[in-house]
Amino acid sequence: MNIRILSFHRITLLLTFIFVSSSLAEPVSIDEIEAITIQVSAFRERQEAENEVMRLSASGVDAVIRHEAVAKKGMWYRVYVGRFEKAAQAHAYAETLKDQNIITWSWVKTSSLPDVTVQSSTPPPERKPAPVMVIAAAQAEKVPSPTSATQANVELATSVAQSTDGPTNPPTSSSSQWTEVGLEKIVQQSSGTLIEDEPEAAKNFEIHSQTTLRAFNRDTSENEDHLVLPIYQYLQIGYGNSEQGGWSMQAYGWGRSDLVDSAYFEDDNDAEFLYAYLDYRKPYSDFNLRIGRQNILTGVVNENLDGLKVGFGLWETFSATVFGGVTATTEESSSNATYGGRLAIHPQPHYEIGLAYQSTDLEDETEQKAGLDMAFSWSHWLIFQGLSSYRLDTEGWREHSYSASLRYNDLSLEPSFQFFSYQDYFDTAKQKNTLFQFLEDSDELVTIIGGSLQYQGLTPVRVATRVNQYTYDVREENADYFAGLLSVDMPGGSQIGVEAGRMDGETDDNTYTLYRAHFYWNDPFGIAESTFISADGILQFYDEPVFGKDSAENYSISAGMSLLDNAMEVKLTGSFSQDPYFDEDVEGIFTLLYNY
Amino acid sequence: MLTTMRNITIIASLSLLIWGVLAQTAWTEGYSLPLKHPQEQGQLARCSECHESEAGGFPYQRYEHTPLFGEDHRLTANGSQRVCEMCHRPNFCSDCHSPGAGLKPSLKNHGDTRRLMPHRGDYRTRHRIEGRLNPVKCFRCHGRPKTSKTCKPCHG
């Protein structure tokens, strides 16, 4: 039945597609080849992409548009600049465009482009007149054959904004063409080569699948050093139009099976429905209706429940959320009825105060908490946000968490304050039989004061430091934490980074030092943009030995590649570690990701 | 006291629900957003590269993915589900924060060394220290019967 409905759906889409395609004025076909190019932007709306092409043309940079399916993000109008023989040339050209403030973002990649002359890497002349009109006419004459409606890639635009000589050699008469044609025609003809990957309606149905196979050895209840070979299957299904709104459906869950039946997971769940709900929403509206298993994260409420949530706005100044159902976090035999809501006041979008409440019925008592959350921002330099949560049934504050962010250009100073009362935080009947239950009797009060300093002005270098001081009321033992990280972001998504951190307790058993170095190398050796190699190395030193060892080391190396136009991705990781628990621990992980 | 609070809450919630549904038919809110960000984002969202701060009244800087955003996003993400879903897929948070997500984030996303994730390296030993100093951090994910199962083999 479902297959027949799906087939009917596809036939309908195909007919619509044929009708729309055949109704376009003077379609033309263009041969495509795979080439290294630079994506400079992407838009949901075609008109915005066309405007971007015009803007680039005015700067002497020719561009093409492709309408492409992006994994997990739906359909986008991507704007590409140039074609290159080597990735290094593309990166250099992208940097030049950034230096001239023509673009702010770039992604060097291999993509299908019209079969025209390969782009040189020479930077464009500054602000030269747009060559769009002349080039468009020449290209249109060059490829006059009509497009078949069933062709996978369909030419929708009437022109090509790609110079056969590259932007370094534009026609000299282009400026007069601009004057003669007029704005409306320019918009139509300078829209670049627009290539459809697939019908837009295909974005209504999404499947994200992850299959992960692990292999390692562990002691189990039956054997020592037994091979464990679990395979995990994650599946997320979505149906609905994520841009237009309306009704949609989302479901996500996983299952696991140990291929060698090692008994290592005998006490764990083998499958879980993480969420499954129907959702209604519309653009530019705060109204949202959600029915099913879902996570409620609003104000001081963070709950997984099976039930209903309704969110809406009132007079632009207020918004509210109400929810009710049974908790989905406990075993089925002890699910608890819960309900609550949050009312927020935001006279301006950058000033918001919310009041939230949640009540959960337990066997012989009712657990109630309420709280205040707020977020303020002043101009571009100060952001203040935080929350306070109060237990109505125990009559005590559970938590105060506040942070500020002071920004000056690329420098960000973020002081923070946290306070927790163990009695009011951990005394929750919902969580009985967890190992945290004993903490409620400690009457401990912990205060964490600290913050971070982050700087992103040394592009591509980013640096950050963090300091936290832990103060305890009962056990009178403080601790300090210091950490720093430095990363270098390379073009194309590659990154090299180092981290160091030290937890410095007053006693040796609360003290450790950690060092980490890692890299992520996208498109190694210029093979393909869709491949990567990454590695991670972590060293840890403990001031007081644990099981006779005072250090640990972990190393991992990974490789992966995307297939089927990024619809599929395979990853393989091998890791080795030595630590107080294992003399040697070797693990292999293989993952297959599929996105439809 | 509790019964009174509960009744007040129920009445207030139902009133808000009715008002909200009615409001949807009468008003189009101004403080609202498109469902999806109109332009594709790269690895790290830097809103201020394109947006003037608070242009249109929206606090873009609050959502900047700074180097430590992976560790510090709690207060920003709280109540900002609508903003997060403009770039991330619905319930993206559940990849890491779901009770009983199966694999810990650093295993589920193995190979992606660019993202800050807890539990990397010898966390089995480190958690003895961090759990003593700030058990609240552990409790947020492992404080529920289902998720605490990972603790039981050692902690009972």
A435 vs B148: CB contact, 8 Å cut-off? yes
Q: Is A439 on the interface with B (CB under 8 A)?
A: yes
Q: Is A59 on the interface with B (CB under 8 A)?
A: no
pLDDT at B43: 61
Collapsed DSSP state (helix, strand, coil) of residue A492? helix
Query: Å from B115 to nearest chain A CA?
Result: 10
Q: Is A366 on the interface with B (CB under 8 A)?
A: yes
pLDDT at A430: 60
B-facing residues of A in 258-277 (CB < 8 A) are: 267-269, 272, 274-275
A312 vs B20: CB contact, 8 Å cut-off? yes
Contacts of A111 (CB under 8 A, 6+ apart): A34, A35, A37, A39, A66, A80
- Residue B104 or B57, more confident: B104
Query: Å from A377 to nearest chain B CA?
Result: 7
Query: Å from B137 to nearest chain A CA?
Result: 11
Tell me which chain B residue has its CA closest to the CA of residue A294: B91
Cα separation of B112 and A224, whole Å?
32
pLDDT at A407: 87
Question: Helices A132-142 and A46-58 meet at what angle, rounded to 10?
Answer: 120
Cβ-based contacts of A402 with chain B (< 8 Å) = 75
Tell me which chain B residue has its CA closest to the CA of residue A315: B29
Cα separation of B109 and A571, whole Å?
10
Cα separation of A256 and A211, whole Å?
10
CB A368 within 8 A of CB A396: no
Q: Is A504 on the interface with B (CB under 8 A)?
A: no
Tell me which chain B residue has its CA closest to the CA of residue A317: B31
B149 vs A518: CB contact, 8 Å cut-off? no
A436 vs B148: CB contact, 8 Å cut-off? yes
pLDDT at B9: 66
Cβ-based contacts of B129 with chain A (< 8 Å) = 503, 505, 509-512
Which of A255-259, A399-403, B18-22, B150-154 is predicted with the least confidence, judged by mean pLDDT? Answer: B18-22
Q: How far is CA B101 from CA A232, A486, B7, B144, in A?
A: 11, 30, 36, 12
A319 vs B31: CB contact, 8 Å cut-off? yes
Tell me which chain A residue has its CA closest to the CA of residue B68: A464
Q: Is A203 on the interface with B (CB under 8 A)?
A: no
Cα separation of A307 and A323, whole Å?
7
pLDDT per residue rounded down to tens, chain A (596 residues): 444 444 444 544 444 443 333 333 333 344 566 677 888 888 877 888 888 888 888 888 888 888 876 654 567 788 888 888 777 788 788 888 888 888 877 777 767 666 544 444 444 444 333 333 222 322 333 222 222 322 223 222 323 333 333 333 333 223 222 222 222 222 333 334 444 444 444 458 889 999 999 999 988 777 788 899 999 999 999 998 777 788 999 999 999 999 998 888 887 788 888 899 999 987 777 788 999 999 888 899 988 899 999 998 877 788 899 999 998 865 555 678 999 999 998 877 678 899 999 998 877 788 899 999 999 888 778 899 999 999 998 899 999 999 999 988 889 999 999 999 998 888 766 656 667 878 888 889 999 999 999 998 887 899 999 999 999 998 878 999 999 999 998 877 889 999 999 999 988 889 999 999 999 998 888 777 689 999 999 999 999 999 999 999 999 999 999 888 788 999 999 999 999 999 899 999 999 999 88
- Comparing C-alpha atoms, which of A544, A537, A494 is closest to residue A516? A537
Contacts of B11 (CB under 8 A, 6+ apart): none
B151 vs A433: CB contact, 8 Å cut-off? no
The 8-class DSSP code of residue B89 comes to P
Cα separation of B2 and B7, whole Å?
9
Cβ-based contacts of B133 with chain A (< 8 Å) = 470, 479, 503, 505, 510
Query: Å from B75 to nearest chain A CA?
Result: 6
Cα separation of A231 and A209, whole Å?
13
B122 vs A452: CB contact, 8 Å cut-off? no
Cβ-based contacts of B150 with chain A (< 8 Å) = 268
Nearest to B42 among A105, A342, A591 (CB): A105
Q: Is A534 on the interface with B (CB under 8 A)?
A: yes
Cβ-based contacts of A349 with chain B (< 8 Å) = 31, 56-59
A348 vs B33: CB contact, 8 Å cut-off? no
Work out the pLDDT band at B15, boundaries 50, 70, 90. Answer: low
Peptide bond into A129 cis (omega under 30): no
A99-102 long-range contacts (CB < 8 A, ≥24 apart) are A100/A59, A100/A124, A100/A126, A102/A56, A102/A59, A102/A61
Report chain B's mean pLDDT, rounded to a whole number.
Answer: 76
Among B122, B140, B151, the residue to mutate for chain A (most A Cβ within 10 A): B122
Cα separation of A310 and A322, whole Å?
5
pLDDT at B28: 38
Residue B59: burial class (beta carbons within 10 Å; 0-12, 13-18, 19+):
buried
Question: HEC profile for A410-468?
Answer: CEEEEEEEEEEEHHHHHCCHHHCCCCCHHHHHHCCEEEEEEEEEEEEEECCEEEEEEEE
Contacts of B54 (CB under 8 A, 6+ apart): A350, A377, A379, A380, B60, B61
Query: Å from A176 to nearest chain B CA?
Result: 32
Cβ-based contacts of A80 with chain B (< 8 Å) = none
Q: Domain map of chain A by residue range?
A: 2-198, 205-285, 299-454, 477-596
Query: Å from A313 to nearest chain B CA?
Result: 7
Cβ-based contacts of B81 with chain A (< 8 Å) = 297-298
pLDDT at A592: 96
A252 vs B91: CB contact, 8 Å cut-off? yes
Q: Domain map of chain B by residue range?
A: 32-92, 102-144
